[in-house]
Amino acid sequence: MELQGLDTRLDQLAHARSAHPSHARLKELRQRSAVLDRELALARTALSDIQRDVDKAEADVQLVRDRAARNQQRLDSGTGSPKDLLALQHELVSLARRQGDLEDLELEVMERAETLAADVARHEASRVELDSLLAEAVGEQTGAFEVIDAEATEVASRRSLVAPDIGAELLALYDKIRAGSGGIGAAELTQRRCTGCRLELNQVDLSNLKNAAADEVLRCEECRRILVRTAESGL
């Protein structure tokens, strides 16, 4: 039964590893991370697009300013016919209106860019925070797994010392039964009851078990697990 106890503990440790709460925590964080990555990519793309609009708006305003400055310079110099100078004055008025409209558009685009930049900054801050949580969760999982794996290594080492004493044929039978019986290949007979299937044996089976040789391999007639007789078997 020592081998069965060791195998049971190995199964428990394997289950503890596979069902550890850190798996669910990391899954949830990684799902959040994937969503955040998409949101951040979209926010950066939107900011890049609006920045091109800002650059164009600034360039358009600068073109009008430059033309207005040249016209003002020519007007101030007095060079040209009265008709040309009057046309320059009219164009300056038109350019001033055009510059005002473009500056309003530039301001609107810049405000949108500021909003999008704030979105990017918020997502980037969330990215840093989430990366920290992920690193912390991975560290906690690693620490937990180190403890589980250390015990599993120790139990497996003890099993390797016990298994050879059983004999190859019996060990093969035990492993086969264990594989098909929920991880329990051998069970104690306690108070006339198989601790594997939890069923009480009938009187005929109990009599056969009682009269069996000490080295005979006994099987439960109900679950077919190897039965181990003890002082508490009730025989």
In terms of Cβ atoms closer than 10 Å to its own Cβ (0-12, 13-18, 19+), residue 225 is buried
List, for residues 119-148, the tens digit of each pLDDT value: 999 999 999 999 999 999 999 999 999 999
Q: What is the DSSP string of 8-74?
A: HHHHHHHHHHHT-HHHHHHHHHHHHHHHHHHHHHHHHHHHHHHHHHHHHHHHHHHHHHHHHHHHHHH
Question: Cβ atoms within 10 A of the Cβ of 174, count?
Answer: 21
Cα gap 95→83, rounded to integer Å: 18
Domain boundaries, the chain: 2-164, 168-229
pLDDT by position in tens, the chain (length 235): 688 889 899 999 999 999 999 999 999 999 999 999 999 999 999 999 999 999 999 999 999 999 999 888 888 787 777 887 788 888 888 888 999 989 989 999 999 999 999 999 999 999 999 999 999 999 999 999 999 999 999 999 999 898 888 888 888 888 899 888 888 898 888 888 888 889 888 888 788 887 888 778 888 888 889 888 887 877 6
Task: Specify whether the CB–CB gap between 173 and 226 falls below 8 A.
Answer: yes
Residue 202 DSSP symbol: P
Assigned CATH topology for domain 2-164? Helix Hairpins (1.10.287)
Tell if the pTM clears 0.85, that is, is over it.
Answer: no
